[in-house]
Amino acid sequence: MGRVLAVANQKGGVGKTTTAINLASSIAAAEVDTLLIDCDPQSNTSSGLGLAKDPERVSVYHLLMGDATADQALQTTELEQLWLIPSHKNLIGANLELVDGDRREFRLRDAIAPLRERFQYIVLDCPPALDLLTLNALVAADSVLIPMQAEYFALEGVSELLDTIERIRAGLNPTLTIEGVVLTMFDDRTNLAQQVTAELSRYFGEKLCRTTIPRNVRLAEAPSHGKPALVYDVRSRGAESYIQLAKEILDRHIQFPGVSATQAVPDQQEKQVVNAPRWKRWMRERNKLITINLQDR
């Protein structure tokens, strides 16, 4: 069964979409079948992967309304093992249209249930609001990844999200966990970043991802070319950091052939065996210049 990971933070512009696109692409580049679902009416994930706007296209909106199956909404991408279910501007209306609908918080979960067999990872990009769309994503998800910037009041901003996650656990989705908190647009040269990181580390402990994502212009440029960073410029620090993040997250849940158990992480039962994932090989094929050091893979 595939794992569903929601990328959520109700604060705007913290790097949710950049994280969803580049994490999903990095997982797919490791030869893991991955689906990215754009749950945000802004449709940045869809356009960031080069999908032109098309009002006729089957989208998450149709899934939530029960007008299409998830299978019908699948789009292929430039990466062989990455698929996309795009968003639609009508999605903004779904919040209102679903208000009186039955199982309104479970629409996405129900719609993607048949795809859990087919994809090993399903990544959900959420809008910057704790609305019914984010609620649907959190109910559909096994875990939440929270992108955050290292700012003062970072914790205050995220407490509302943590409260929401608690409430969802108490009722709609008892098995929802926090995958991690990832620092985005990070500059470790500043005192502020170091202080905030220390505070977040005290608060989140192991949930604070070891990988941080630096501010990197390639990450900001790539979507305007309709490409994930590892296709746009695999040698960039941005692409490299998201590959590292994918590695950190995959290591928790997937047993790669050839990786010894000592390198593996605690909950062995949850691990699935997948076919040889090889970012290095993928990059060699893609780009002769390999600067990314993933020797231990």
Ligand X SMILES: Nc1ncnc2c1ncn2[C@@H]1O[C@H](COP(=O)(O)OP(=O)(O)OP(=O)(O)O)[C@@H](O)[C@H]1O
Residues found near ligand X in the complex (CB under 6 A): 12-18, 40, 42, 44, 128, 184-185, 213, 215-216, 219-220, 238
Task: Please say which residue, 10 or 120, places its beta carbon nearer to Mg ion.
Answer: 10
Helix (H, G, I), strand (E, B) or coil at 21: helix
Task: Answer with the entry of Mg ion, ligand X, none that 213 interacts with (C-beta below 5 to 8 A by kind).
Answer: ligand X
Task: Please say which residue, 220 or 276, places its beta carbon nearer to ligand X.
Answer: 220
Shortest separation between residue 157's beta carbon and ligand X, angstroms:
12
Task: Please say which residue, 103 or 210, places its beta carbon nearer to ligand X.
Answer: 210
Q: Which residue type does 12 have?
A: G
Is 134 a binding residue for Mg ion by CB under 5 A? The answer is no
| Stated length of the chain | 297
Q: What is the DSSP string of 9-70?
A: -SSTTSSHHHHHHHHHHHHHHTT--EEEEE--TT-HHHHHTTPPP-TTS--HHHHHHTSS-H
Return the biggest CA–CA distance within the chain: 55
Task: Answer with the entry of Mg ion, ligand X, none that 145 interacts with (C-beta below 5 to 8 A by kind).
Answer: none
**Which one of residues 3, 4, 14, 16 is an interface residue with Mg ion (CB under 5 A)?**
16
Task: Please say which residue, 101 or 157, places its beta carbon nearer to Mg ion.
Answer: 157
Shortest separation between residue 177's beta carbon and ligand X, angstroms:
21
Q: Within 10 A of 266 (CB to CB), how many other CB atoms are there?
A: 8
**Which one of residues 10, 17, 46, 95 is an interface residue with Mg ion (CB under 5 A)?**
17
Sign of the CA dihedral running 33, 111, 148, 199: negative
Phi, psi (5° rounding) for residue 37?
-120, 125
- Helices and strands of the chain, counted as H and E runs: 13, 9
Binding part of the chain for Mg ion, among 2-10, 11-19, 139-147, 173-181 by CB under 5 A, reads 11-19
Cα separation, 195 vs 200, in Å, equals: 9
Binding part of the chain for Mg ion, among 17-25, 82-90, 181-189, 232-240 by CB under 5 A, reads 17-25
Cα separation, 135 vs 94, in Å, equals: 12
Taking a C-beta distance cutoff of 8 angstroms, is the pair 84, 36 a contact? yes
Task: Answer with the entry of Mg ion, ligand X, none that 220 interacts with (C-beta below 5 to 8 A by kind).
Answer: ligand X
Taking a C-beta distance cutoff of 8 angstroms, is the pair 135, 165 a contact? no
- Bridge partners, 122 (sequence order): 4, 35
Task: Answer with the entry of Mg ion, ligand X, none that 24 interacts with (C-beta below 5 to 8 A by kind).
Answer: none
Cα separation, 199 vs 276, in Å, equals: 38
Shortest separation between residue 211's beta carbon and ligand X, angstroms:
12
Task: Please say which residue, 127 or 277, places its beta carbon nearer to ligand X.
Answer: 127
Task: Answer with the entry of Mg ion, ligand X, none that 226 interacts with (C-beta below 5 to 8 A by kind).
Answer: none
| Residues of this chain, 173-232, that bind Mg ion according to CB under 5 A | none
Shortest separation between residue 66's beta carbon and ligand X, angstroms:
26
User: Which chain residues interact with Mg ion by CB under 5 A?
Assistant: 16-17, 44
